[in-house]
Amino acid sequence: MTEVQMTRGYADQLRASMEEHAALPAISFPEEALTYGDLARRLGGVARVLADAGLQPGEVLALYTSDKRALLLADLAAMLIGAVSLPLNERFTEPEMRYYLEDSGASLVLTDDAGRATVESAGAELPTFRGIIDTAQVLEAGEAPLPDAHIAATDPAFILYSSGTTGRPKAVLHCHDNLAAAVTALRDTWEIGPDDRLLNCLPFYHIHGLSFCAHMMLLSGAEMVVQPSFHPRRTLEALCDCTVLFAIPTFYYSWLDHRFFREMAPQLGGVRLFTAGSAPIRPEVLPELEEILGRPITNRYGMTESHVITSLPLGVSSLEGSCGVPLPGVEMRIVDDADRDLPVGETGQIIIRGPNLFRDYRGRPEATAEAFADGWFHTGDLGRLDDAGYLYHCGRCQEMIITSGHNVYPPMVEKVLNALPGVRESAVFGLPHHRRGEMVAAAVVCDGVKLTEQEVRAWCAERLVDHSVPVEVFFVEELPRNTMSKVLKRELRERWGGPGSST
């Protein structure tokens, strides 16, 4: 990264990239294909729609829609006028949306017919919420010049939600400078350029699909092919004409279940980079995958607060289980509970610092200060280093569950469970699952009432996004606790920690 790039934020670099690569293909949506020049003119029109709706610099625009084209256009246009983008899962329920809108202080929400009632109900009594922008307004916006807005490198760019040590979702605020630093480091590490076509069927409410891929490739001159979601055959067919795949392990597991994967593999000769992230690939299937694909899968490690932290070098196999070395500009240490450096081979907490890191947990100065103790960001993840400086991820200090690449926060699920009549208390934890990586499980203590697993899951399904609904429910007489009355979830995982079901 050059000195000039380091002093320019994402909005400025995006403008420059769209001008430099104006004639090159930028994004291929199912509905339309845009060159970089087309994209600039479309974003000018969308920016005008947002401004006409009253969105001001520094205000938060929540994005609550399954329309990936509308979401991405609004996300980029919001950043170009100095507003703050907040992508949210379109499957969030009304109570969940109320929490995110209130906590973020969102002023406006982009949504569609499917989400309008949920947003109106969630925002009804929130003082900061002013109204809705319909996705049709974004999709039908005419072309216009890009807005003449001064965006400082240190201005806020976008928010995504993550989990702290308590599991309560926190607003992770990224600014234009750290966003630019993070995505250019990844671009240069993976050598993404104008000759590349990136396939992206990941959701845009997650940092993997939105920032690691979309925000990054727009500064490279590459083209991104967008699919609404992963589909085993359709995604594989599209990949035949691409050079880079952004994926989570469940994509690969799904392909292994289909005969056509081996049959079509010879057509993937143009794919130079298969990536994996958001959860580790099961080591027992890696040899078969790499044998079928004919090249290594590039494992990496990252998180919402930091973007990508480490990556395997291009062409290096994941078979040993490593997630690689730090990206340029990232410093990393493995420490004990007192933040003392540990020797090579010993497991401890991963802490990092660098220009890629988020600015703060919005509205939570104490949580921010705790996370950045002594100037190093404490990831809450466990890892070890080998003699060559390669990182091996060893689990999480936190209780967060990652299922099919989605973060699940146990306290939010427990709150729903404990509201069910007949439930005295509950504990939510993750168990291994052969396809999802982890599945959500719950231990439930009843209060003199006999409940069934089906009743518990139905209650949750009405109040939680689908990936947060427990797959397994275990009824127990009491929860294991230590002397300080803290529930010992480790014992619950050990008790039921065999291979997960295939549901």
- Among left, alpha and beta (phi > 0; psi -120 to 50; other), residue 399 is alpha
Confidence of residue 502 (pLDDT cuts 50, 70, 90): very low
Q: Give strand pairing partners of 332.
A: 352
Neighbours of 347 (CB within 10 A): 15
Q: Give dist(CA 16, CA 20) in Å, integer.
A: 6
Domain count, the chain: 2
| Residue 285 clears pLDDT 80, i.e. is over it | yes
Q: Give dist(CA 335, CA 329) in Å, integer.
A: 20
Question: What phi, psi does 53 have (nearest 5°)?
Answer: -80, -5
Residue whose tokens read 């100037």? 375
| Residue 4 clears pLDDT 50, i.e. is over it | no
Per residue in 459-492, pLDDT (tens digit) is 999 999 999 999 999 999 999 986 435 688 889 9
Per residue in 23-69, pLDDT (tens digit) is 999 999 999 999 999 999 999 999 999 999 999 999 999 999 999 99
pLDDT of residue 397: 72
> What DSSP element (H or E) covers 233?
helix 232-239
The whole-number average pLDDT for the span 93-120 is 97
The whole-number average pLDDT for the span 162-186 is 86
Which domain does 74 fall in, by range? 35-151
| Residue 265 clears pLDDT 80, i.e. is over it | yes
Residue 427 sits in a domain of what CATH number?
A: 3.30.300.30
CA distance between the termini of the chain = 45
Q: 104, 126, 151 — which closes off a domain?
A: 151
**Is the distance from CB of 284 to CB of 306 less than 8 angstroms?**
no
Residues ≥6 apart with Cβ < 8 Å to 448:
422
Per residue in 303-322, pLDDT (tens digit) is 999 999 999 999 998 777 89
Q: 122, 151, 180 — which closes off a domain?
A: 151
136 domain-assigned: yes
281 domain-assigned: no
Across all residues in the chain, what is the average pLDDT? 92
Confidence of residue 122 (pLDDT cuts 50, 70, 90): very high
Per residue in 321-341, pLDDT (tens digit) is 899 999 999 999 999 989 999
pLDDT of residue 486: 66
The whole-number average pLDDT for the span 487-501 is 75
pLDDT of residue 318: 79
3 domain-assigned: no
pLDDT of residue 6: 52
Confidence of residue 167 (pLDDT cuts 50, 70, 90): low
By the 10 Å C-beta count (0-12 exposed, 13-18 middle, 19+ buried), 283 is classed as exposed
The whole-number average pLDDT for the span 440-465 is 95
Residue 68 sits in a domain of what CATH number?
A: 3.40.50.980
| Residue 428 clears pLDDT 70, i.e. is over it | yes
202 domain-assigned: no
pLDDT of residue 198: 99
Residues ≥6 apart with Cβ < 8 Å to 401:
407, 408, 410, 428, 429, 430, 438, 440
Of 37-41, 171-175, 394-398, give the lowest mean pLDDT range. Answer: 394-398
Higher-confidence position of 131 and 397 = 131
| Residue 214 clears pLDDT 60, i.e. is over it | yes
What is the pTM (predicted TM-score) of this model?
0.84
305 domain-assigned: no
Q: 151, 183, 217 — which closes off a domain?
A: 151
471 domain-assigned: yes
283 domain-assigned: no
In percent, the amount of the chain with pLDDT more than 90 equals 81
| Residue 269 clears pLDDT 60, i.e. is over it | yes
